[in-house]
Structure 1
Amino acid sequence: MRLSFLLMRLAFVITPSARAEWRAAMQAEYQVMDRGRLSWSLGCLMTATGWRMKSGTGYLMGVVSAFIVTAFILNPVSLILLMLHSRHEPVWRPLIYVVADMPTVLACMALSLWRPRYGYVSAVLMTGLFFTSTYGLALLAGRTFSYLHFNDMPPVIGELLFLGICMTAAFMGRALHWGLFRRGASATL
């Protein structure tokens, strides 16, 4: 299979549906070309990527906003409230992790409810942003990676567990979207 064919297929797949006429025109032009197919398909891919990025700007802004709100407002506030509560009575240690992770998990679920097609992408992006900020701040504080244990688990296991939890939340958001907004759903309970 030729590289130009694969690039053209990728361009075809990522072109937004609002640009269906352009997508068909690019594909037809590619079919009749004898020479220069690689450069044509690469140009089509770059154009389709630009269209996709423009159509997904609101979604990306939503992910970044959700990350900023959860990482810098909700997560610290939830931990502070838990610490204030723990001054009066002991707290079960795993509850600390659940409270600390809950805002990010709920943000994954909300993003998936909003844009179910990007639900799992939201989970991966939120997990990546969460760990980038966590490890970045830890490294700035002079900690090493051998010191960092997420949720008191070995370095890779904790991150995979958190990703799995975010993926589960994304699945739940997608299912909730499907249940609430599917066409022809009855309004009765």
Structure 2
Amino acid sequence: MPTTVSLSRVILTLAAWVAPPGRRTLCQAMRAELDVLYDGRLSWALGGLVSALGWRLRVDGLFWAVVLACALPIWRSVTFLATVPIYRLLDRLGSPAIYSYWLLQQALVCALLAAWRPRLAAPAAITYLVVQYAISEIVWIYVLRWPTGKGVKIMDAPPVVGLSAVLCWCLIGAWSGASLRRTFARPTL
């Protein structure tokens, strides 16, 4: 019985953390009602967590849908086709220019996402990168049948170095977008 009570309290604490700011008092009320219940504490706590997740989905669902859509191959193909002239121009300058432009594109996407929801800047950047590279790996291995092993490189570097560079640029972009949003959201005197 004490294990169920403590587990229920942890679940409702998680629900309060997940819930949007306007609904956190409801989660605190659910936790206060938990002490009055004799039976069904765990189901009460799980119901509170599901409710909090539903509230959060209503608040941030569109944002996360846009984050995932930006990483999908269809969106990336459309934006790539729009920037083909820039890539052709940069092709004369060599691969470092193309990699720099590509990294700036990644940073810009993350900056725009972070400007929309500043408090979700880092999770959005990491989710964008992970989804983008997971889909790329699936396409490379299963669709294009590219060989894997020692020859795989990202930006002419080992995969760990290439992914770390992209992650850094995504986080820099997210930080910049969140900072700009907070700067412009401040009231002027």
| TM-score (norm: length of structure 2) | 0.83
2:160 corresponding residue in structure 1: 156
Q: Distance in 2 between matches of 1:94 and 1:133?
A: 24
> Would you identify which runs of 4 or more consecutive aligned residues in structure 1 move more than 6 Å?
none
Does residue 166 (structure 1) correspond to residue 170 (structure 2)? The answer is: yes
- Residue 102 of structure 1: CA displacement? 2.6
Q: Which amino acid aligns with 2:157?
A: M
Whether the 8 Å CA contact 1:105–1:166 is kept in 2: the answer is yes
- Residue 13 of structure 1: CA displacement? 1.1
1:109 corresponding residue in structure 2: 111
> What 5-or-longer segments of structure 1 have no aligned partner?
none
Q: Which amino acid aligns with 2:77?
A: F
| TM-score (norm: length of structure 1) | 0.83
Judging changes above 3 Å, is the alpha-carbon distance between structure 1 residues 86 and 156 closer, same or farther for their aligned structure 2 residues?
closer
Q: Which amino acid aligns with 1:168?
A: I
Aligned residue pair count = 182
Whether the 8 Å CA contact 2:110–2:174 is kept in 1: the answer is yes
Q: Distance in 2 between matches of 1:84 and 1:127?
A: 25
2:56 corresponding residue in structure 1: 52
- Residue 14 of structure 1: CA displacement? 1.0
> What 5-or-longer segments of structure 2 have no aligned partner?
none
Taking only aligned residues, the RMSD between alpha carbons, in angstroms, comes to 2.3
2:79 corresponding residue in structure 1: 74
Identity %: 25
Q: Distance in 1 between matches of 2:188 and 2:177?
A: 17
Does residue 179 (structure 1) correspond to residue 183 (structure 2)? The answer is: yes
Q: Distance in 2 between matches of 1:86 and 1:3?
A: 57
